Amino acid sequence: MITFDKFDKNRYSQDVIVTDGLIARLYGITGDNVYLLPRGEKAKSMYNFARLCKWLVDINLPKQSRVVAVGGGSVGDVAGFAASVYKRGVNVLNVPTTLLAMVDSAIGGKTAIDMCGVKNVIGSFVNCNTLTDTDFLNTLPPRQIRYAMGEILKYRMLDENIDSVKGDVKNFVRPCALFKEKIVSEDRYDKGMRKILNMGHTVGHALELQYGISHGEAVRWGLKYELELSFKLGFASREYRDGWQKYFKGNAPRINDETLRLMTFDKKNVDGKVFFVLPCDGYKTRFFTADDLHGLFAEV
């Protein structure tokens, strides 16, 4: 469940708060029940996960307590993973502090850490609720806002109501979060409907790995290429494709043999075939699998 409310750190004295040093400093989050992770992606290591688990054991957190994860997707992923295995699972309250976490990672209970250079390769599902306070966005650097715009574009391509949202970026938070919550509540374990949230991600993940660009940027370019693919395969009309083109200005990272190789490692792939969720007219999607990526991406 998502609640939209002000975050009051004093409400969580019976729980533990997991955050990072910057957020703790900006929002005065201190106390014996606060655990600080390193900032950003480097928090998502086996080392940091194990240290957090050790701390939970050291303080003997009761199984009825909650882990309150105050941060972006990185904090949420590590705190959520630790919470999902500590005493075979304690509840989590996600308090997202980045735009990406508000519209995406703090909802749905997926957790993960990276290993051997492979992103999100070890993870779990956890029981979580979400408390969203958009005031956290006031301190977020513009760069981090831009990073989330790829995910927000994905939601716009999936839902007409989100596409018609106007004005400040904060206006997108509630409809995107509620859209994701609805999808996830119907398919928690990614067996069917939830897969639509992967639109743009097959190409996007490969570009993210290859070029070291942010997840949001990669998803935006992923959407561009998957839209082209959808048009090439006859799933999307020319009019539809041209209508979305204005969101893809700039120099797209190029798809080459390495990009195609990386796509073959995608977690969504089935029976050795690469899985795509392609955008189609009328805010619809089409699932598509392919084994000949070279033929598919020629001239895309």
140 makes contact with ligand NAD (CB under 6 A): yes
Q: How far apart are CA 7 and CA 291, in angstroms?
A: 48
Nearest approach, Cβ of residue 147 and ligand NAD (Å): 6
If the CB atoms of residues 143 and 238 are measured against ligand NAD, the closer one turns out to be: 143
If the CB atoms of residues 215 and 240 are measured against ligand NAD, the closer one turns out to be: 215
Report how far Cα 95 is from the mean position of its chain's Cα atoms.
14
If the CB atoms of residues 140 and 227 are measured against ligand NAD, the closer one turns out to be: 140
Minimal CB distance residue for ligand NAD: 73
78-117 footprint of ligand NAD as x/- string (CB under 6 A): -------------------xx-xx--xx--x-xx------
Give SS3 for 257: helix
If the CB atoms of residues 7 and 231 are measured against ligand NAD, the closer one turns out to be: 7
Nearest approach, Cβ of residue 289 and ligand NAD (Å): 23
240-279 footprint of ligand NAD as x/- string (CB under 6 A): ----------------------------------------
CB 185 within 8 A of CB 194: no
35 makes contact with ligand NAD (CB under 6 A): no
Ramachandran bin of 213, using left for φ above 0, alpha for ψ from -120 to 50, beta for the remaining angles: beta
Give SS3 for 255: coil
Q: How far apart are CA 81 and CA 87, in angstroms?
A: 12
225 makes contact with ligand NAD (CB under 6 A): no
Within 8 A by CB and 6+ apart from 124, the residues are: 80, 81, 84, 85, 111, 112
Q: Quote the radius of gyration of the chain (alpha carbons, Å).
A: 19
If the CB atoms of residues 99 and 236 are measured against ligand NAD, the closer one turns out to be: 99
If the CB atoms of residues 136 and 231 are measured against ligand NAD, the closer one turns out to be: 136
Helices marked H in the chain — which ranges?
Answer: 21-26, 46-58, 73-85, 99-100, 142-158, 160-163, 173-186, 201-211, 215-232, 238-244, 257-263, 293-297
CB 228 within 8 A of CB 183: no
Q: Which residues bind ligand NAD (CB under 6 A)?
A: 20, 22-23, 26, 39-41, 44, 71-75, 77, 97-98, 100-101, 104-105, 108, 110-111, 120, 136, 139-140, 144, 147, 215
